[in-house]
Amino acid sequence: MDEKILVTRSSMPPYEEYIEAIKPLWETHWLTNMGTYHWQLEEELKRYLDVSELSLMVNGHMALELAIQSFGFPQDAEVITTPFTFISSTHAIVRNRLKPVFCDIKPSDGTIDEEKIEDLITEHTVAIIPVHVYGNICNIERIQEIADKYNLKVIYDAAHAFGVKYKGKGIGGFGDASAFSFHATKMFNTIEGGAVTFSDHKIYEKLYNLKNFGIHGEELVTEVGANAKMNEFSAIMGLCNLKHLGAALARRKEIYDFYRKEISEMKGISLLSENRDATKNYAYFPILIEDSYESSRDEAFERLRENNVFARKYFYPLTADQACFKNKYRNADIANARKLSKQVLIIPMYEELGLDQAERIVGLLKDIGRRKK
Ligand SMILES: *Cc1c(COP(=O)(O)O)cnc(C)c1O
């Protein structure tokens, strides 16, 4: 049996480098609560992501949840969002006591269909929460135009869009705020971690407060905050991983280019379209199984698994169809999202994936598409 290939594998710096980097913690005994490395990582990430403001968080979910909370929307207000995402995006809305209103996506790239947003706006709508899914950038200009017209906030789930630039600007600088994830499975990780980026400095103080229990001074608590601070071991992991990101990206690009070349010619498999105005971070490689492929998506998934290749059905089912949300909220027609979620497979992509392994995966896809079992 060939070796097991998972969909991703966490990036880690050389062992000695990390051990050396965490040594000072044994002198200071300062392990969390906005330590030296927390500040250093905030500064370095602002530079890398090309944003003016950034607040580190304990994970991507809390980044999104607190970003939403920071705007103080009234309870039960409506938020227009996409169901084609990780469950965290919808949880963050509902845990803020807001109502998600699911908007369909574009089959071309999986992002929210901006032309369907306006029809869903009511007097209760307060925000649009789109997702740059797989690092594909939403139609930022059109979404901003709609938000301006109806006085709505725009908060991006940018968990997949680390390092992406749009028209030469850091993606985290668009809209009112963006939430990034630095989870171990993401292309840049701090083990667990995340950040909110934005342009208005007032949000920085608000988030600082919210991620530290709402504590404002030694004897004053002003908000119902959470504990979402990043610890020093995570911040150091981030500082180390950041140093190797250039090399990691080069490796990812090599695999991405190979996949793209091989798979774009394969009968029955199609790929999502790429935005020429945005850079790529090579975080994921989604493929779409068409009717003309010899196996269904689920059969392909199983066959890969039998051959020790563990692809993932991201994102299936839609968040709107999960047990906790099903039939609870106003749904627009989300037929494109349903269709894409039944076609998509994410195939393995990480910096240490060898080209020989990528070749094996491509070979399997050719084989599975050629004949019935
Ligand atoms: C990973 C992810 C999150 C949550 O991030 P965590 O760091 O795992 O909490 C949110 N949204 C999307 C789209 C994600 O992929």
Q: What is the pLDDT of residues 186-245, one digit of tens each?
A: 999 999 999 999 999 999 999 999 999 999 989 999 999 999 999 999 999 999 999 999
Task: Report how far ligand 1's centroid is from the alpha carbon of 262 (Å).
Answer: 29
Pocket test for ligand 1, best of 180, 183, 281 (most atoms within 8 A of CB): 183
> CB within 8 A of 27, min separation 6: which ones?
none
Tell me the per-residue pLDDT of 1-10, one tens digit each, with 9 for 90 and over: 788 999 999 9
> CB within 8 A of 129, min separation 6: which ones?
68, 79, 80, 81, 82, 89, 92, 93, 154, 155, 156, 157
Task: Report how far ligand 1's centroid is from the alpha carbon of 197 (Å).
Answer: 15
Closest C-alpha residue for ligand 1 atom 5:
60
DSSP assignment of 17-58 equals HHHHHHTTHHHH---SSS-HHHHHHHHHHHHHHT-SEEEEES
Does ligand 1 lie within 6 Å of residue 89's CB atom? yes
Task: Report how far ligand 1's centroid is from the alpha carbon of 56 (Å).
Answer: 14
Mean of pLDDT values over 76-103: 98
Does ligand 1 lie within 6 Å of residue 86's CB atom? yes
Q: Which atom of ligand 1 is nearest to the CA of 181?
A: 7
Task: Report how far ligand 1's centroid is from the alpha carbon of 133 (Å).
Answer: 11
Greater pLDDT, 130 or 369: 130
Mean of pLDDT values over 56-73: 98
Task: Report how far ligand 1's centroid is from the alpha carbon of 192 (Å).
Answer: 10
pLDDT band at 372 (very low <50, low <70, confident <90, very high): low
* 140 vs 259: CA distance, rounded Å: 28
Tell me the per-residue pLDDT of 135-181, one tens digit each, with 9 for 90 and over: 999 999 999 999 999 999 999 999 999 999 999 999 999 999 999 99
Pocket test for ligand 1, best of 157, 230, 284 (most atoms within 8 A of CB): 157
Is the preceding omega at residue 317 within 30 degrees of 0, hence cis? Answer: yes
Give the pLDDT confidence score for residue 331 in this predicted structure.
72
Does ligand 1 lie within 6 Å of residue 134's CB atom? no
Task: Report how far ligand 1's centroid is from the alpha carbon of 368 (Å).
Answer: 31
Give the pLDDT confidence score for residue 332 in this predicted structure.
80
**Percent of the chain clearing pLDDT 70 (strictly above):** 99
Task: Report how far ligand 1's centroid is from the alpha carbon of 183 (Å).
Answer: 7
Does ligand 1 lie within 6 Å of residue 83's CB atom? no
pLDDT band at 330 (very low <50, low <70, confident <90, very high): confident
Amino acid at 310: F
Q: What is the value of pTM for the model shown?
A: 0.97
Mean of pLDDT values over 62-88: 98
Tell me the per-residue pLDDT of 102-131, one tens digit each, with 9 for 90 and over: 999 999 999 999 999 999 999 999 999 999
Give the pLDDT confidence score for residue 2 in this predicted structure.
81
Residue 371 has pLDDT above 70, yes or no: no
Q: Which atom of ligand 1 is nearest to the CA of 133?
A: 13
Residue 298 has pLDDT above 70, yes or no: yes
Residue 48 has pLDDT above 70, yes or no: yes
Tell me what the pLDDT averaged over the chain comes to.
Answer: 96
φ, ψ dihedrals at 42, nearest 5°: -60, -45
